[in-house]
Amino acid sequence: MKKISIFLSFSLLNFVKSSGQDLLSPRPDGHAPIGVMGDHTHKAGEWMLSYRYMFMEMEGNRSGTNQLTHQEVLNQGFMVTPTSMSMEMHMLGAMYAPSDQLTLMAMVPFTSFTMDHLTRMGGMFTTETEGLGDIRLSSLLKIYEDDSQSIHLNAGLSIPTGSITERGNTPAGANSKLPYPMQLGSGTFDLLPGITYLTQSDNWSWGAQLSGTIRLGQNDEGYTLGDRLNGTLWAARQWNHWLSTSIRIKASKWDNIDGADTDLNPNMIPTANTALRGGERIDALLGLNIVIPSGPLAGHRLAVEAGAPIYQSLNGPQLETDWLMTIGWQLAW
């Protein structure tokens, strides 16, 4: 009798353990939509490498929820208005789990920004910057897990490896300091706290993540980027053992800049004005996750997610977001 009960509790333990592992299994929706960072943890001893390509297109200006013509921006007294901006990012990621409870993560971004402008005189010009962004180091700490749900805390630090002294040729002068959104980093150490909830049933999975960016101190150019708060909610359906699709809502809110870079003239162009940087936005996104089922690349994950804002209110004039996309590759072993 004692033997049986030991056997039973062992099997039960194994069952709980193995179904717990299933939550982050090779299921295609075992990872969140690729636009979500720090969404999953790993089992003790596991490694993962990832690559993401992210693209965001912004065109036209907005103040509050109202769209502004270029002329309306210039009529507010600025010499120049930005007309569009594209942001590209290549992000390399690595994850390692020293234990089932703790996963470590590092992310290294390479960014490039292009901004087009219109001057009062009717001239047009473009500025470009590119290079290493701010490297992020995170710990993901699992605080709850049962056979269908898990919760982990995200504790990250952003290291100011991205340049905040990027320069370019503008009508204001050759090789002049470029405005805030063209800089590659924050210039400050930033805390990245968060909490992530995951749950799944036979063919569906859901997740939610609340995360923030808290800037510490002031950077060498004399300013602090605004803090940021993100909340996201997604649902995914697995169609077979290698394909899932997802829908996601992401809400973000970010503050204006504190302090100022004295090299920038806030009356020249809205992007140099620290009071015209904050805003809030809600994006709706559709995604696809694939786990390659067989062949030499079996187990490699490919994913894409793209979407557009369904609401945005900006301290403007400020460029509005039109659409965004993330394509990714992941491999765990």
Site for Cu ion, rule CB under 5 A? 48, 95
Least distance to Cu ion from the beta carbon of 96, Å? Answer: 9
Least distance to Cu ion from the beta carbon of 46, Å? Answer: 8
Residues 4 and 11: beta-carbon distance below 8 Å: no
Q: Of the two residues 103 and 271, which places its CB atom closer to Cu ion in the complex? A: 103
Rounded-to-integer distance, Cα 133 and Cα 109, Å: 5
> Which residues, 6 or more positions from 89, have their beta carbon under 8 angstroms from its beta carbon?
52, 53, 54, 55, 109, 110, 111, 112, 133
Q: Of the two residues 50 and 61, which places its CB atom closer to Cu ion in the complex? A: 50
Beta strands in the chain (DSSP E): 47-64, 66-68, 80-96, 102-119, 124-132, 135-145, 149-159, 167-170, 173-177, 189-200, 204-216, 223-224, 228-238, 243-254, 258-259, 279-291, 301-332
Q: Of the two residues 48 and 73, which places its CB atom closer to Cu ion in the complex? A: 48
Q: How far is CA 170 from CA 59, 176, 269, in A?
A: 20, 7, 11
Joined together, the tokens standing for residue 266 give 């806030």
Least distance to Cu ion from the beta carbon of 108, Å? Answer: 15
Least distance to Cu ion from the beta carbon of 70, Å? Answer: 44
Q: Of the two residues 214 and 327, which places its CB atom closer to Cu ion in the complex? A: 327
Least distance to Cu ion from the beta carbon of 50, Å? Answer: 7
Q: Which residue, judged by CB position, is nearest to Cu ion in the bound state?
A: 48
Among 217, 169, 168, 164, smallest CA distance to 191 is for 217
How far, rounded to the nearest angstrom, does the alpha carbon of residue 295 sit from its chain's CA centroid? 32
Q: Of the two residues 32 and 58, which places its CB atom closer to Cu ion in the complex? A: 32
Least distance to Cu ion from the beta carbon of 31, Å? Answer: 7
Q: Of the two residues 182 and 332, which places its CB atom closer to Cu ion in the complex? A: 332
